[in-house]
Structure 1
Amino acid sequence: MSTAASSQTTKSAAAAQHFFFGLGSGVASAVLLQPLDLLKTRTQQSGQHPSSLLGYWRELRQSPQPIRAFWRGTLPSSLRTGFGSALYFSSLNAIRQFLQTSNAFSQRIHASSASSSLPTLTPTANLVAGAVARTWAGFVMMPLTVIKVRFESSLYSYPSMWAAVRDIHRSHGLRGFFSGFGATAIRDGPYAGMYVSIYEMLKKRLASLASGGSRSSSSSAEGSRAMTASVASSVNFVSAISAGAACSAISNPIDVCKTRIQLQPQRYRNLFHAGYRMVVEEGFGSLWRGLALRMSRKALSSALSWTIYEELIRRYTASYGGAGRSLKSV
């Protein structure tokens, strides 16, 4: 096999690993955190008969099958989050690989102060890479997002995903499956861009602090080693949960508008119309409905997804020598 063909095969294998590792981390976080996502959707769904978080919690607990009620919408949520994460992580890695080829965008970090095997870029490059990758993944997964939100809402009682598909198509046509995409892109693009930039910044600083003490008290040979897996996972988890909480708080008003558009597209035509109508009819506070739930859910989801994803990449890198080193550069 030629060198070029071997290199192409290695890159394809690396891309597949990023896709499947992203899929696994997305499904895991979606299943574990579905009750928080469902409650967040319920609190944001309508201002006509608003209920408190405690009220929705009691309503779900008193249902005949409370466990099933709390995890309603898990299938579309898992499909959407799982494949969305797979597309996002694989696209993000491809974009970061491309940007890393330019000396203007790449950064070099000593192995002993790094908690990741992923490319390291400048804050601006991370901002652009995160925004582009998330917007692309959001567009592809938009139909599943609409179905997921409707399943979680109490405004609809679909018996199956196929019933939801038929109802959306009958009522709104193909356009109905992309309701709220504008709001989603405006929310997710800046969110993901800020998230990746803040996450990488925090990760670098915390990793430097975590490895600084050990290097000062160890030999030069030991100091050149990368940090242990447990320390690296802790650094990644703390960085991810902090970045997720901060970015979700900033983007919450857009998220509420997006939810309204997807649930009631005739009543809320677009992002600006939804925001204006909500403020006029329900007050400025309506834009911050579900903030605590969204911060909790997004922070935990981001922490789980990124930590699992990075740990899988890290273990693959450590286990497969040459193939793993190719992942590091991809």
Structure 2
Amino acid sequence: MLAWMQEAAKMNPFSSPFMSVKCQALENGARPLIPNRNIVAASVEESDSCEFGSNKYFLLCGLGGILSCGITHTGITPLDLVKCRIQVDPQKYKSVFNGFRVTFAEDGTRGLVKGWAPTFFGYSIQGMFKFGLYEVFKVQYSTLVGEEIAYEYRTSLYLISSASAEFFADIGLAPFEAAKVRIQTMPGYADTLRQAVPKMYIDEGLTGFYKGLVPLWMRQIPYTMMKFACFERTVELLYKYVVPKPRSECNKSEQLVVTFAAGYIAGVFCAIVSHPADTVVSKLNQEKGATAGQVLKKLGFGGVWKGLGPRIIMIGTLTAAQWFIYDAVKVWLRMPRPPPPEMPESLKKKYGLA
């Protein structure tokens, strides 16, 4: 019992995750689970709570995704609400500040948080699959192609792994996203998730929950591919050219600062790449019986870029916060956190760099 209580005390969320670490290379010729990714040793005082690439590791990654996406998306519900309303009714909601002012005047403070419940549940489910399956696919694909190809084509590896994960994540998100958009953009339709779900089922059946799935894939898969690939490569470049010391010499708080910076840079690109499809999703869920092609034709080229400014602010901050929380959860749970990839010795010899 005493040992269990000591372990629980170590894992409590109020203890500081920023403990000094000692990064060591693999010894005794041990082979890493992911080619070319040496496991970072945990703190001097503690060992890792799980083995890298184990089922427990992947489950904890999923938990990190739940906290990362659920908390951040719910926290920016007011900005998301105004962004959606600008997309579907730009005549009434002319800008971000105007949108906040009009919404507050009509619905008060409570009106600014409309749709928080489907946002929280939908993006928690999406985050679990997005981050958890990304780690799974990255390990599996790396093992499949071998360490040399995994290193030389690592950007492609990140893109394929993230796209595979997001495909499944959006299936879980779609029903909640459909309910959220209706709550936020259709006055009088419903005020809560409990009101919206039965009404959607009566009006449109099960198909109503998934009519926006394909546009959601069009929005989220490019977004996630950019989010993960840009983040991974930005982290690599920051440690190589910006951070004045090697990652192995950075403490965990310094590593989390790098994580946040790389996440924000990735978020800006994510917003631009995925915005047209985001506009189509918002408009599609507002108009009954419309198809993605009809909505796209009606909006035109200029229409699909409405609300890009607030979305860059929203997605940049959101992506940075998500990566920060996800990495902080790994620190808190004492999970293995491999450093950026390095060229394997076989490739160094092949290119005469050994």
Instruction: Sort the TM-score into its range (normalised by shorter chain).
Output: 0.7 to 0.9
**SS state at 2:248 partner:** coil
Contact 1:42 1:154 in 2 (8 A): no
Relative distance call for 1:145 and 1:226 in structure 2 (3 A) is farther
Q: Does 1:45 align with 2:67?
A: no
Q: Which residue of 1 aligns with 2:21?
A: none
1:249 to 272, 275, 285: 272
2:315 to 270, 284, 298: 298
Relative distance call for 1:16 and 1:155 in structure 2 (3 A) is same
Q: Does 1:103 align with 2:126?
A: no
- Mapped to 1, the partners of 2:270 and 2:86 lie a distance apart of 20
Contact 1:180 1:258 in 2 (8 A): yes
Relative distance call for 1:247 and 1:160 in structure 2 (3 A) is closer
- Give the TM-score taking structure 1 as reference length: 0.80
Q: Does 1:18 align with 2:49?
A: no
Q: Which residue of 1 aligns with 2:123?
A: 81
Shift of 1:152: 1.8
- Give the TM-score taking structure 2 as reference length: 0.75
Q: Which residue of 1 aligns with 2:291?
A: 269
Q: Does 1:214 align with 2:236?
A: no
Shift of 1:156: 4.2
Shift of 1:55: 3.0
Shift of 1:180: 1.5
Q: Which residue of 2 aligns with 1:218?
A: none
Contact 2:117 2:192 in 1 (8 A): no
Contact 1:105 1:125 in 2 (8 A): no
Q: Which residue of 2 aligns with 1:313?
A: 330
Contact 1:76 1:148 in 2 (8 A): yes
Tell me the number of residue pairs that the alignment of Structure 1 and Structure 2 aligns. 287
Equivalence map 1:129-140=2 (5 Å): 129-140=161-172
Shift of 1:42: 0.8
Residue 260 of structure 2 aligns with an amino acid whose one-letter code is F
- Mapped to 2, the partners of 1:156 and 1:97 lie a distance apart of 47
- Mapped to 2, the partners of 1:21 and 1:204 lie a distance apart of 22
Q: Which residue of 1 aligns with 2:282?
A: 259
CA offsets 1:96-146 (integer angstroms, 9 cap, x no match) = 1112223244349xxxxxxxxxxxx70000011111111210112210111
Shift of 1:245: 1.0
- Mapped to 1, the partners of 2:284 and 2:121 lie a distance apart of 21
CA offsets 1:208-240 (integer angstroms, 9 cap, x no match) = 2344x335xxxxxxxx83422222112111111
- Mapped to 2, the partners of 1:178 and 1:27 lie a distance apart of 20
**SS state at 2:121 partner:** helix
Q: Does 1:58 align with 2:109?
A: no
Relative distance call for 1:65 and 1:125 in structure 2 (3 A) is same
Contact 2:118 2:179 in 1 (8 A): yes
- Mapped to 2, the partners of 1:208 and 1:316 lie a distance apart of 27
Residue 91 of structure 1 aligns with an amino acid whose one-letter code is L
Relative distance call for 1:14 and 1:264 in structure 2 (3 A) is same
2:229 to 180, 197, 202: 197
Contact 2:115 2:192 in 1 (8 A): no
1:70 to 94, 112, 127: 112
CA offsets 1:31-62 (integer angstroms, 9 cap, x no match) = 32111111111111246x54312332112222
Root-mean-square deviation (Å): 2.5
- Mapped to 2, the partners of 1:309 and 1:155 lie a distance apart of 35
Q: Which residue of 2 aligns with 1:153?
A: 185
Where structure 1 has 5 or more consecutive residues not aligned to the other structure, the ranges are 1-6, 109-120, 216-223, 318-323
Q: Does 1:124 align with 2:156?
A: yes
Residue 86 of structure 1 aligns with an amino acid whose one-letter code is M
- Mapped to 2, the partners of 1:104 and 1:19 lie a distance apart of 28
- Mapped to 2, the partners of 1:328 and 1:201 lie a distance apart of 14
